[in-house]
Amino acid sequence: MNDKSEQTTVQSGLIKPSSDESEASFDEASERDDAKSLETLEVRLLLDAVKQYYGYDFLNYAPASIKRRIQEFQKEAGCHHIAELISLILHDEAMFGKLLRYMSVIVTEMFRDPPFFLKLREEVIPWLKTWPFIKIWHAGCATGEEVYSMAILLEEAGILDRAQIYATDLNEESLQIARRGIYHADTLPLHEENYTKSGGSGSLSQYYRQRYSSLKFHRRLSENMTFASHNLVTDGVFGEMHLIICRNVLIYFNRDLKNRVFNLFNDSMCLKGVLCLGSRESIRFADIDSLYETVDAHQKIYRKKTVVK
């Protein structure tokens, strides 16, 4: 599934991320936008309330998509105006939890974009094999399917025991699903197909146990995984990573926030470390651009240079 078509079922409805992400900050967009747009003002007030009361800062997310997701939530909540959501979420934490789900866009799948995972096998895994100890960070891991896919890749390369995988997200609810490693079996045909296309030689069924409509990945895969809450907007660095994977997260951020996150990744990366982004994301034109060389432009794989010329 790609971002154009990505959608997620969140309790009562479908949320489709915008395919029209803007680079401007919410402030800039508001100014440029119809200054009289009451809705834009209401969105701004809602985001301020969320930041002040709950500490989540969405002010530097791409405005067009954040507004659309708030409007979807407004529909579900049955409110006539966005302003009504402010008192709703301030006085009812469970409602804030629902809003957070809309803001997070928790969409993922195993071996998502199989050619990307094939490139990882061919270009990055051989380099990882040269290290006695390997540190990997999945930033914005959602419900964890991407992380279990990575563990399978490492297992098949014989280096899972040497790896420590940190997987983070701002959404605690999805992290809980990731920690359990239990998924619905109806996604199996797609995941099996993705696995094969990504160069998998066996069958995914080697890695999980199925009971009725659920499957649970083997404990061995998650032994070296640590799932933790981490907000890319406000939280700090992770040390000396060999590989950082942050796919389909930055598309929701404006340029300033993207730069903050790129700097965070750069400070968390060892020399020659590899950074992987989603198909519609790029390091080009970012502040740290000159510090990285391209491993694969199409699959958005970059390597930190040892010497900057």
- Confirm or reject binding of residue 229 to ligand SAM (CB under 6 A): no
Sites for ligand SAM among residues 144-163 (CB under 6 A): 146
* Contact stretch for ligand SAM (CB under 6 A) within 24-32, 243-251, 280-288, 297-305: 243-251
| Closer to ligand SAM by Cβ: residue 57 or 84 | 57
- What is the rounded CA–CA span in Å between residue 94 and residue 134? 39
Cβ 234 to ligand SAM shortest distance, Å: 8
Smallest separation (angstroms) from ligand SAM to the CB of 247: 4
Task: Report the alpha-carbon distance of residue 100 to residue 108 in Å, rounded.
Answer: 17
Site for ligand SAM in 78-107 (CB under 6 A): 104-107
Distant-in-sequence contacts of 38-45, Cβ < 8 A, 24+ apart: 39/67, 39/82, 40/67, 42/81, 42/82, 42/83, 42/86, 43/67, 43/70, 43/82, 45/83, 45/86
Nearer to ligand SAM among residue 9 and residue 130 (C-beta):
9
What are 249's two structure tokens? 């997260």
Both structure tokens of 90: 């301030």
Taking CB under 6 A as the binding criterion, the range among 157-165, 169-177, 236-244, 284-292 that sits at the site for ligand SAM is 169-177
Does 247 bind ligand SAM (CB under 6 A)? Our answer is yes
Listed ranges 73-81, 86-94, 168-176, 215-223: which one lies at the site for ligand SAM (CB under 6 A): 168-176
Q: Which of 232, 243, 275, 301 binds ligand SAM (CB under 6 A)?
A: 232
The answer to the question of residue 19 lying near ligand SAM (CB under 6 A) is no
Query: Taking contact as CB under 6 A, which single stretch among the options 35-43, 129-137, 199-207, 242-250 is the one that binds ligand SAM?
Result: 242-250
**By CB under 6 A, residue 170 contacts ligand SAM:** yes
Nearer to ligand SAM, 249 or 269 (CB): 249
Instruction: State yes or no: residue 142 binds ligand SAM (CB under 6 A).
Output: yes
Residues that bind ligand SAM (CB under 6 A): 104-108, 112, 140-142, 146, 169-171, 174, 231-233, 247-249, 278
